[in-house]
Amino acid sequence: MRTRFIALTLVTGLMLAACGKEKQAKQVTHGVKVRVLEGYPQRIVTGLQNRRMQLSNTQARFSVARFQQMVNISKTWKPGEVVTVAFNGGSTGLRQQIVNAAKAWTEAANVSLDFGSTSGPGAFREWSASDNDYKAEVRISFDSEGYWSLVGRESTDKAVAKPSEASMNFEGFDKGLPVDWEATVLHEFGHALGFDHEHQIPQSACQIDFRWEDDPGYVPTKDMDGQFAPDDHDRNPGLYTLLGGPPNNWSRDKVDFNLKELAFTKDTRLTAFDRLSIMKYYFDSWMFKNGDRSACYGPENLTLSDNDKKAASEVYPKGSPLMKAALDEKIRALDTLSRESSLPEDLRMAYRSNLHVLAAQKAKLH
């Protein structure tokens, strides 16, 4: 199986299937196959880790929870904003399929995704690895490893991704589409609009219920694909072991980066955990200590949940009064962060620059 995120990384999740012992091909009853989890290239992980560390030093949340999602206000776009998208690779037909799949977000939120180009009707915006300036806020590629996307404005943060680098990737989509490709697109565009992983929010039950370590006495056992599987006594590998082997081959640090809860910062907003969110990976029941009784366990999530749509409409509201309120909140968050002496000067300058843009937009609202 080609390495790729849980794409359905979210969606199709980690699933172990009728597997067998590496040499004996012994059949077991767990019934699900292991999918690859969403994982950034290491160059991007390094930039994100640095930013997370810098922002985590700002400590407390910006304000009380409201949204049915985890959002950092500083990463979201303005209500009503047109977010530009460009492609590197992929056929016209594939690009149009991605456009169509992403529409569910813009139907729920007051934000637009502009994939177009000035080169003619039906043309798509392009970016390349030789660009010195950002050709678009969201830059899609198909040749990097996995399915992944940067979160909101991270895509134009040069400390994280340069103009010559993708901010979203769909490995192999240009060769053939996986069955649940539309859910993958929805998940990644959720990130692009500023939403983090649902299973990583501090209020979720996932962190305490994940089967992080092997069952006591587990004997490392692999199936015919080299993936870790239950042993002869039906003892399960933990997530560190499972994801440390094929097809993910992650270090413990990378497992933590992708699954452990995110730190609060001064602009963090979140509410109750939504186990049906498109932003949550799907995990088979045995990956939890409490199995299908875990509050983190839920069915495969292939479409936007009602709470995903609600969160999108609150982060990107329609109508001048609600837009003003959302802009005021962003302005307060950015002003707070721009004064945070623990942050690097380039980041504080970016916050101050965005402040001026938001103030100008607010002045235009009636």
The string of DSSP codes covering 236-254 is PPPHHHHHHSTTT---HHH
pLDDT at 16: 29
Burial class (CB in 10 A: 0-12, 13-18, 19+), 163: middle
pLDDT at 1: 26
Q: What is d(CA 119, CA 122) in angstroms, rounded to the nearest whole number?
A: 9
- The predicted model scores a pTM of 0.80
Is 277:198 a contact under the CB 8 Å cutoff?
A: yes
* Cα-Cα-Cα-Cα dihedral sign, residues 95, 97, 98, 102: positive
pLDDT at 69: 55
Q: According to the CATH classification, is domain 8-364 in 3.20.20.80?
A: no
pLDDT at 138: 98
DSSP 12: I
Q: What is d(CA 116, CA 22) in angstroms, rounded to the nearest whole number?
A: 49
The single-letter code of the amino acid at 273 is F
For residue 140, the cross-strand partners are 87, 168
The closest alpha carbon to 168, from 49, 83, 256, belongs to: 83
Block means of pLDDT (10 residues each) for the chain, length 366 residues? 31 31 33 53 68 58 44 84 96 96 97 83 90 97 91 90 95 92 95 90 84 96 90 95 89 87 68 85 90 91 93 90 85 82 82 82 78
The closest alpha carbon to 315, from 188, 190, 168, belongs to: 190
The closest alpha carbon to 350, from 146, 112, 136, 74, belongs to: 74
pLDDT at 94: 97
pLDDT at 29: 34
pLDDT at 47: 66
Is 289:239 a contact under the CB 8 Å cutoff?
A: no
Q: Where are the domains of the chain?
A: 8-364
> Distance between terminal CA atoms of the chain?
55
The encoded tokens of residue 271 equal 């509410």
pLDDT at 3: 31
Token pair 């699933």: residue: 15
* 72 sits in which H/E element: strand 71-72
pLDDT at 56: 59
